[in-house]
Chains A and B, each alone.
Chain A
Amino acid sequence: MQALIVSNILLWLLLIVSSLVLLGLIRQIGVLHSRIAPAGALMLDKGIEVGQPAPQVTAADRFGRPINIGYAGERSTLLFFLSPTCPICKSLIPAIKAISRSAKDLDVIYVSDGDAAEHDKLIAQAGLEKSSYVVSPEIGMTYQIGKLPYAALIDQAGILKAKGLVNSREHLDSLFETELLGSSTLQDYMKAQSESPGIHTPS
């Protein structure tokens, strides 16, 4: 009888724990759903075409040091356009930092515009004190950035390799992926795939 009671109590406790786990899992699914919610209609890009030389701009960073963008050099450049008022931009900063750490020969430049005090707050929050952080509306205008967060990848020769709206880590990675595959956009890649014989693509 004693053993039965102990086993019964144990089972109840385990049942409570497993319903808690179930609840936690379902909550996580809800959070995932809210994360992958559409962040705005994708539009066809305007501005400079991928594969063309990137526009050359020089702007001063926070400390007044000149930063050259679009010039040929020894390292590639990743431009990350952000705003202190955009929550998705903030959530992407750790991913950008990780890429900046792991990728060799890559300069990461954070580009933004607006109020200096808000930028200081964002920089302190995200720990970007050592990064190149440019507050300049000209770069955004030159590259015709209409939506944030936006990223552009420029190679050593000053050629714009990839660009696009980035809403997640996957979008960011795909910028580098496009450089690797040699297709500038997903559309180009699909086209190349369907034109090569023997490869079945779902239509």
Chain B
Amino acid sequence: MIDPIVSTSAALALAVIFASAASHKLRHPNWFRRQVREYELIPGLMVPVAARALPIAELVIAAGLLWSISRPYAGVLALLLIVLYGLAIAINLARGRKDIDCGCSGPAMRQPLQPALLARNLLLAVIALGALLPMLDRPLGLHDNFVMIAAGTVLVLLYTATDLWLANRPLLLNLSGEK
């Protein structure tokens, strides 16, 4: 049992993160189809279907996280999707394909696959776990609501900062010649 503040703020942040990820993929469908193909995990015929289904699933999860009734189910789905993406990255890293684009944050921010992305997905998984665990039933005041929204905002900001930081890392390594 966890406090509703933890659960709600995690769900809010996760909803925003999933919605923004889905919006990248829906706005650039061709880019995302190529990205799915580059991962070389599913047969070619299934690629357009998967490229269409993934962003829709992300949107549904984002919406489901917002209501407390559907939250545990959406949380489980979110966790599954995060683990799935993590596995896709891990398999391609194990194949030694570090040169393909991660496809994580839209076509504007390219970044190659790197082990740090797994750590990022682990962070997301922890947030998803916070959203899906059963809540403690306690009366909520105005201040509780404020803290939920504030904590959700901080989580989203920190996640975005981490994402950009990870995307900058390979550029820095390139620059210092360590790669």
Number of interface residues of A (CB under 8 A): 18
CA A33 – CA B164 in complex, angstroms?
12
Q: Report if A57 contacts B (CB, 8 A).
A: no
Q: What are the residues of chain B within 8 A of A29 when measuring CB–CB? A: 168
Contact, CB under 8 Å: B146 / A26: no
Residue numbers in A under 8 Å from B147 (CB-CB): 8, 12
Write the A12-37 contact mask toward B (1 if CB under 8 angstroms, else 0). Answer: 11011001101100110110010011
B150 CB-CB contact with A under 8 Å:
yes
Q: State the CA gap A16–B156 with chains docked (Å).
A: 10
Hey, which chain A residues are within 8 Å of B143, CB to CB? 5, 8-9
Cβ distance A190 to chain B, nearest Cβ, rounded Å:
19
- Cβ of A33 and Cβ of B168 under 8 Å apart? yes
Within 8 A of B (CB), among A18-67: 19-20, 22-23, 26-27, 29-30, 33, 36-37
Q: Name A108-136 residues within 8 Å CB distance of B.
A: none
**Would you call B175 and A33 a contact (CB within 8 A)?**
yes
Bound complex: CA A178 to CA B167 (Å): 37
Which listed residue, A8, A23, A36, touches B175 by the CB 8 Å rule? A36
Residues in B with CB closer than 8 Å to A16 are 150, 153-154, 157
Closest to B166 in A: A26
At the interface, yes or no: B30 with Cβ under 8 Å from chain A?
no
Of the four ranges (under 10, 10 to 19, 20 to 34, 35 or more), the interface on chain B belongs to 10 to 19
Q: Known: A12-B146, A33-B171. Is A19-B157 also a contact (CB below 8 A)? A: yes
Distance between Cα atoms of A37 and B174 in the complex (Å):
10
Tell me if B164 and A26 are in contact (CB < 8 A): yes
Query: Does residue B87 face the partner (Cβ distance < 8 Å to A)?
Result: no
Q: CA A135 – CA B85 in complex, angstroms?
A: 55
With both chains docked as a complex, state the minimum distance between the C-beta of A155 and any C-beta of chain B, in angstroms. 35
> Other CB < 8 Å A-B pairs besides A15-B150, A33-B175, 19 of them?
A5-B143, A12-B150, A12-B151, A13-B150, A16-B153, A19-B157, A19-B158, A20-B157, A22-B161, A23-B160, A26-B164, A26-B165, A26-B168, A29-B168, A30-B164, A30-B168, A33-B171, A36-B175, A37-B171
Can you spell out 10 A-B residue pairs with CB atoms less than 8 angstroms apart? A12-B151, A19-B154, A19-B157, A19-B158, A22-B157, A22-B158, A30-B109, A33-B172, A36-B175, A37-B171
